[in-house]
Amino acid sequence: MDESDALQQLSTSTTGLTSAVAKKRLEQYGENTLPQSRERSLFDIVLSQFSDFMILVLLLAAIISVLIGELQDTLAILFIVLVNALIGATQEFRAQKAVEALRAMSAPEAKVLRDTKTATLAASQLVPGDIVLLEAGNIVPADIRLLETQALLVDESALTGESLAVDKQPHKLNADDLVIGDRQNMLFKNTLVTRGVGRGLVVATGKSTEMGRIAQLLHTEPNVKTPLQQRLSVFGRYLAIAVIVICALIFGAGLVQGQPVILMLLTAISLAVAAIPEALPAVITISLALGARKLILHQALVRNLPAVETLGSVTYICTDKTGTLTQNKMHVEMVYTLAEGRGSLSSQQSELGQIMALSNDVTEVDGRAEGEATELALYAMAQEMGFIKVALEQTLPRVALIPFDSERKQMTTMHQKNTMHQKITVHQKNTAHQKAEAVVAYVKGAPEEVLAQCVEALQNGAVLPFKTGKVLSEAAALADEGYRVLALAKREFQTLPEVIDGQNIENNLTFLGLVALIDPPRPEAKQAVADCKSAGITPVMITGDHPGTAMAIAKRLGIASDPQQLASGKLLAQYSAAELTDKVASLRVYARVSPEQKLMIVKALQTRGEFVAMTGDGVNDAPALKRANIGVAMGKNGTDVARQASDMVLLDDDFATIVRAVKAGRRIFCNIHKFIKDTMSSNSGEIWTLFLAPFFALPIPLLPIHILWINLITDGLPGLAFSAEPAEPGLMRRPPRPPQENIFAHGTWQHILWIGLFVAALSLGSMAWALSRKVEYWQTIVFTVLTVSQLFHSIAVRSERESLLSIGLLTNRPMVVAVSMMFLLQMAVIYLPALNGIFHTMPLPFFDLMVCLGLSSLVLVAVELEKYLLRKGFIYNP
């Protein structure tokens, strides 16, 4: 709208509202604050942590353990469950903290016109129709339509992702479908005024502002379960059903065989407890905690432990551009002159070097250059080539300045070629008595503005007539390649003009050259993108920056190569949810996107079955960070809101760190999977041994105490030792495991089945051998074979494919220590008289012990043979 229409729409005027009208509107619209978090009671939060099926199964196991007198098992299970509940409850507060951080960003006060007078009010009291006065350093207190501006620059990076401060102006915009980053006549709540002054009309407050809508999105977006949580939930259901069926069968078979009812009941219950891997949550928690500790060394801080494993399942990484893929520092990459075309700034190009060094407002503070990003880049490049501002100012002191504004789109500094000078500001007359010495005006700004004012050009030291077309085409080409382009020109005067303004100075210019600036990619980003692709992960750029800039960086890094892979926020606004779900498969770069669109992109990918990691640093990223399967916030330049909504924080804001974290996540999942494979194979061996014995007319092989002991020493320390297993070779050359994939996929259930049968065959064979010799210690033999074979199995499955000889026995020292300790404990149970009575065991003769150990070691041989056939491609390939 025109300014007058906007004022009329809100029934106000340029002198503001009266206190009476403002009071009524405050009752109508409410306070200018963001929505409060919906708090849950501590009891509700803790109680909700016990709704997972696997946790319920473990609690049932704890109750059964009490009934059969195994108090130690009960305490262990309860401890594990409580630790997991504590971790889960901690995560419940993350969304609430994110909104609290968003509220903390709000401006505490605002300068407004009330009753035609200027007043300072609490920002919470602003209402639509208020007239607000703003200056550099102010936090914008509401969404505001500008009415007047003077050199107004606003940092909107937290809201839009735009890396550079935005020029604002009050004039009507003809398009009605502009994304937030292109609404140049609007200011948005919680953004920061970095330069200039302005006056504007409040059009939205509280939850109706852009920031308010983001806060509401944070409330409404649910947390997404990790792949491991989903897989374990399914695993828990199937395991509970299987355990009930198997225990019922064994109980029935024992009764048919004529065994005592109490003995069979205790055996079935003991087997049920043994079949449930109660150490699994502990192994998972410890694996994740160790992984998180290692990630700290790689500059990744994990806020949500399950997120460590989630990284291993990521199929898409949606990354911000500025500061993550790029250095977040503007840099002069090349200059263009009519004489030399494109190239780098050289010490011979003295005019270009001087204008870059002098025509800026950069200052040195404690030895560090401070100023606007573009000017800092010009200053740094000039200094690098030997054009030092402080030294040049001795011979070319600044005597006048025409500041940049959004209408002229250029800035001019005027320098006198002697040391006697007096500074003149815009619109002032030169009334000082000065020597009539030459003055040079250095102009820099938008090419379309500066070039239109050029009449000649400097070429090989000669001044020639200037033709705009060729240089404008070059400027357009550079802009299409993603550069921010500035035109540099000069004009010389015999004496300082009396009137210093744009109309009088910025014409009849001599063209010097174009400067191409860009926020360059991080040196390691290109290799990190390549590593993603080789690992089967698709990197996607989502940014609030200009489409041309985004595509240029994407091409350099190998994220995209075809313009068809780019979509702007304006184009996304035309898609329905279903259309976007179809399109996202081919899109790799999204530019000028809104917070809702970022959220839509994440949802569309998830609808397609993708597991999405989302990076971000701004308030606008927070809803998408929360919705993504794993949200990754920036630690150096990110906002508190983004960090609170995330699962992981990059301390160095580096995309390559995400790739390293993905590798760590894959290793952790791989090790958890090895533990599940190991413990379920061990349980399978026990179940098959007990189940098949009656069919071979053999007595019950084990007592309940034996089953619980085997479960304790084979699932305990050896299971935890899997968390220390190094990464498998070629881990990052494999595609990610599909999120919906069952935990028993790729031959896992086949392995569990045949290893269980193989162990049962060894156990029942040793039992039959002992019974044929009519030795009293036959049960101790079965007990020993079952226990030691499972320890050998733990060593064998340390690698999915590689031989134990190739990975080395000592590469996982905790496993060696754990297995050795468990073997010594088993020997103590057999040979210490004090333990013989408790465990109903008898000492074994040396020959019989060697037979037991020899039979048990066959498990290691069998698994190594399986891995050999796997490497040769004769059997399933995980």
Task: Give the type of residue at 835.
Answer: L
How much is the average pLDDT of 667-679? 85
pLDDT for residue 113 = 94
Average pLDDT over residues 667-686: 85
- Res. 87: pLDDT tops 60: no
**Phi and psi torsions of 127, nearest 5°:** -135, 160
Question: Are residue 491 and residue 630 in the same domain, yes or no?
Answer: no
Q: Is residue 740 part of a domain?
A: no
- Same domain as 160, residue 13: yes
What CATH code is carried by the domain that includes residue 511? 3.40.1110.10
- pLDDT over 80 (residue 44): no
Report how far apart, in Å, the C-alpha atoms of 241 and of each of 64, 711, 807 are.
16, 20, 37
- pLDDT given at position 634: 80
Of 220, 251, 285, which residue constitutes the final position of a domain? 220
Query: Using 50, 70 and 90 to split pLDDT, how confident is the model at 684?
Result: confident
The confidence band for 228, taking pLDDT boundaries of 50, 70 and 90, is low
Secondary structure of the chain: what % helix, strand, coil (to 5)?
Answer: 50, 15, 30
CA gap 484, 404 in Å, rounded: 16
CA–CA gap between residue 314 and residue 535 (Å, rounded): 10
Which tokens is 278 given?
């109660």
pLDDT of residue 428: 46
> Do 536 and 642 fall within a single domain?
yes
691 assigned to some structural domain: no
pLDDT score for 153: 86
Do residue 501 and residue 646 come from a single domain?
no
Q: If you average pLDDT over each of 241-245, 254-258, 375-379, which comes out highest?
A: 375-379
* Same-domain pairing of 528 and 379: no
CA distance 409 to 449: 7
In this structure, the strands spanning 424-425 and 166-167 are unpaired
**748 within 8 A of 755, measured Cβ to Cβ:** no
pLDDT at 224 over 60: no
CA–CA gap between residue 280 and residue 720 (Å, rounded): 9
pLDDT at 855: 96
- Closest of 456, 575, 453 to residue 510, by C-alpha: 456
Mean pLDDT for 21-37 is 85
pLDDT band of 54, cuts 50, 70, 90: low
- Tokens representing 330 are 């503007």
Residue 170: phi, psi to the nearest 5? -90, -5
pLDDT at residue 336 is higher than 90: yes
Helices (H), 591-654: 595-607, 622-627, 640-645
Top pLDDT among 104 and 717 is at 717
Residue 848 lies in a domain: no
Into how many domains does the chain fold?
Answer: 4
Q: Is residue 676 part of a domain?
A: no
What average pLDDT score do residues 77-99 get? 55
- On whether both 511 and 529 belong to a single domain, the answer is no
Of 285-294, 397-406, 518-527, 683-692, give the lowest mean pLDDT range.
285-294
Q: What is the pLDDT of residue 45?
A: 59
How much is the mean pLDDT over the chain?
A: 83
Q: Is 421 left (phi over 0), alpha (psi -120 to 50) or beta?
A: beta
Q: Indicate whether 511 and 369 sit together in one domain.
A: yes
Structural domain of 461: 337-515
Do residues 571 and 645 share a domain?
yes
Q: Are residues 345 and 451 in the same domain?
A: yes
609 in Cβ contact with 739 (< 8 Å): yes
Which CA distances in Å does 417 have to 388, 435, 511, 715, 722? 16, 11, 20, 85, 75
Name which residue leads in pLDDT, 802 or 267: 802
Q: In this structure, are residues 743 and 708 in contact, taking their beta carbons and an 8 Å threshold? A: no
8 A C-beta contact, residue 825 and residue 713: yes
What average pLDDT score do residues 87-111 get? Answer: 56
Hey, what's the torsion of the CAs at 735, 736, 742, 745, to 10 degrees?
A: 30
66 or 49, higher pLDDT: 66
The pLDDT of residue 566: 94
- What CA–CA distance (Å, rounded) separates 334 from 345? 7
For residue 473, pLDDT over 90 is answered with yes
Most confident by average pLDDT, 107-111, 192-196, 782-786: 782-786
Highest-scoring range by mean pLDDT, 42-46, 695-699, 759-763: 759-763
Domain boundary among 462, 497, 515: 515
CA angle, residues 824, 829, 835, in degrees to nearest 5? 135
pLDDT (0 to 100) of residue 873: 79
Per-residue pLDDT, 507: 93
Q: Are residues 420 and 492 in the same domain?
A: yes
Residues 489-508 have a mean pLDDT of: 91
pLDDT band at 379 (very low <50, low <70, confident <90, very high): very high
pLDDT band of residue 36 (cuts 50, 70, 90) is low
- Tokens 């809803």 -> residue: 623
* End-to-end alpha carbon distance in the chain: 62
- Identify the pLDDT of residue 687: 83
Average pLDDT over residues 673-680: 86
Return the ∠ at Cα 25 (arms to 22 and 27), rounded to 5°.
Answer: 115
Q: What percent of the chain has pLDDT over 90?
A: 35
Mean pLDDT for the stretch of residues 584-593? 92
Mean pLDDT over residues 223-250, rounded?
A: 70
The average pLDDT across 791-799 equals: 93
- 528 with 510, same domain? no
Mean pLDDT of 492-519: 92
CA 566 to each of CA 313, 553, 584, 625, 831: distance values in angstroms, whole numbers, following the listed order: 26, 12, 10, 22, 73
Identify the bridge partners of residue 516 per DSSP, sorted by sequence position. Answer: 334, 485
Nearest to 330 by CA among 304, 369, 292, 275: 369
Lowest-pLDDT choice from 126-140, 354-368, 557-571, 625-639: 625-639
Higher pLDDT, 262 or 145: 145
Task: Please compute Rg for the chain using Cα positions.
Answer: 36
Sign of CA dihedral 653, 658, 660, 665: positive
Specify the DSSP class assigned to residue 843: P
167 included as an active-site residue: no
Q: What is the pLDDT confidence band of residue 447, given thresholds at 50, 70 and 90?
A: very high
Amino acid at 603: K
Instruction: Name the band, by pLDDT with cuts 50, 70 and 90, for residue 432.
Output: very low
Instruction: Give the residue with greater pLDDT, 451 vs 545.
Output: 451
pLDDT at 74: 66
164, 80: one domain: no
Give bridge partners of residue 193 from the DSSP assignment: 154
**Domain holding 532: CATH number?**
3.40.50.1000
With a cut of 50, say whether residue 433 has pLDDT above it.
no
Candidate from 85-94, 298-307, 774-783 with smallest mean pLDDT:
85-94
Q: Which of 73, 155, 320, 617 is catalytic?
A: 320
What percent of the chain shows pLDDT beyond 70? 83
pTM above 0.85, yes or no: no
Determine phi and psi for 653, rounding to 5 degrees. 55, 35
- CA 465 to CA 457: how far, in whole Å? 6
Tell me which of 176 and 782 has the higher pLDDT.
Answer: 782
Sequence letter at residue 161: G
At residue 67 the predicted structure's pLDDT band, cuts being 50, 70 and 90, is low
Only one residue has tokens 């399967």, namely 629
Residue 251 has pLDDT above 90, yes or no: no
Task: State the burial class of residue 767 (Cβ atoms within 10 Å of its Cβ: 0-12, 13-18, 19+).
Answer: buried
pLDDT of amino acid 95: 40
Cβ neighbours of residue 794 closer than 8 Å, sequence gap 6 or more = 678, 714, 718, 719, 721, 722, 815, 818, 819
> Does 202 fall in a domain?
yes
pLDDT in tens, 817-848: 999 999 999 999 999 998 898 888 999 999 99
Q: Is residue 225 part of a domain?
A: no
> In the predicted model, is pLDDT for residue 97 greater than 60?
no
Q: What angle do CA 871, 874, 878 make, to 5 degrees?
A: 55
Quick check: is 458 in a domain? yes
Neighbouring C-beta atoms of residue 264, cutoff 10 Å = 20
> Which of 605, 636, 660 is a domain's end point?
660
Biggest distance spanned by C-alpha atoms of the chain = 125
- Cβ distance 270 to 704 under 8 Å? yes
Q: Is residue 823 part of a domain?
A: no
The pLDDT value recorded for residue 660 is: 84
Q: Judge whether residue 419 has pLDDT over 70.
A: no
Least confident of 176-180, 185-189, 191-195, 757-761: 176-180
Residue at token pair 């509220």: 103
For the domain that residue 204 is a member of, what is the CATH number?
A: 2.70.150.10
